[in-house]
Copies of this chain bind each other. A is one copy, B any other.
């Protein structure tokens, strides 16, 4: 265990981490954190419409393209990324996925974890990814799981913003000012050439959350990302 602080991002598809948590990733990376992203799939079936419209497209080619984009985006944000390639639309995760993630938790020993909303009627892969990320966290806390490897503590879990927040029963409980790294987030999502229609959408999300962050504080914030908490926050300092 080094002194470097670490964070873990569990993303259902290869681009989710960019739209939804790119700012948080870049912000922590810029401060010297090691941020590691696990993409459970490439989003090859459900989130690659533009690629599939090209003639002669194959599953392998879609995966290769999506992987390259995601690696490029992770690089821009300053994070490492791995792909479990478990398939999407619909996603299914067996025990191996849980155990692999538990291993990642114990090796990385993250100070916090980012994943999807608990519900999403537009995309059932998203809540599944969060469920697996949370189950693996609990397994990594269990002394009887791989007893020779030290257990982890209780890293907080933050749920990043889904595409249609109210329909996903997701609620912003924490605004993170990402203005200082906005250009990196923008550069990262512009690598997603297959999803160009989302660039403007997520730029507006950043601006709206920035305006709301301003209204909920005495700061002036241009761009923000919003997160929901899973667990209570614990503080030994002051309340504000």
Residue pair A45, B219 in contact (C-beta under 8 Å): no
Residue pair A46, B138 in contact (C-beta under 8 Å): yes
A227 beta carbon closer than 8 Å to chain B:
yes
User: Most chain-B Cβ atoms within 10 A of its Cβ — which of A24, A143, A235?
Assistant: A143
Q: Mark A80-115 against chain B: 1 for CB-CB distance below 8 A, else 0.
A: 000000001110100100100000000000011000
Residue pair A95, B90 in contact (C-beta under 8 Å): yes
Q: Report which of B46, B52, B208 forms a contact with A204, defined as CB distance below 8 A.
A: B208
Residue pair A46, B234 in contact (C-beta under 8 Å): no
A164 beta carbon closer than 8 Å to chain B:
yes
Residue pair A112, B218 in contact (C-beta under 8 Å): no
A11 beta carbon closer than 8 Å to chain B:
no
Copies of this chain, complex-wide, total 6
User: Most chain-B Cβ atoms within 10 A of its Cβ — which of A166, A174, A177?
Assistant: A166
Residue of B nearest to A118 (CB): B121
A64 beta carbon closer than 8 Å to chain B:
no
The interface residues of chain B lying within 8 Å CB-to-CB of A95 are: 90, 92
The smallest beta-carbon distance between A101 and chain B, in angstroms, is 11
Residue pair B138, A122 in contact (C-beta under 8 Å): yes
The interface residues of chain B lying within 8 Å CB-to-CB of A145 are: 45-46, 89
The interface residues of chain B lying within 8 Å CB-to-CB of A195 are: none
A236 beta carbon closer than 8 Å to chain B:
yes
Q: Which stretch in A69-77, A182-190, A209-217 binds the other chain?
A: A209-217
The interface residues of chain B lying within 8 Å CB-to-CB of A144 are: 44-46, 48, 52, 59, 62, 89
Residue of B nearest to A119 (CB): B118
The smallest beta-carbon distance between A79 and chain B, in angstroms, is 14
Q: Report which of B27, B49, B134, B173 forms a contact with A143, defined as CB distance below 8 A.
A: B49
Residue numbers of A with Cβ under 8 A of B are 5, 7, 24, 27-28, 31, 33, 44-46, 48-49, 52-53, 57, 59, 62, 88-90, 92, 95, 98, 111-112, 121-124, 131, 134-135, 138-139, 141-145, 147, 153-156, 158, 163-167, 170-177, 200-201, 204-205, 207-208, 211-213, 215-219, 221, 224, 226-227, 229-236, 238-240
A-B pairs with beta carbons under 8 Å apart, 10 shown = A28-B239, A44-B144, A46-B139, A88-B142, A122-B138, A154-B217, A174-B234, A176-B235, A205-B208, A216-B232
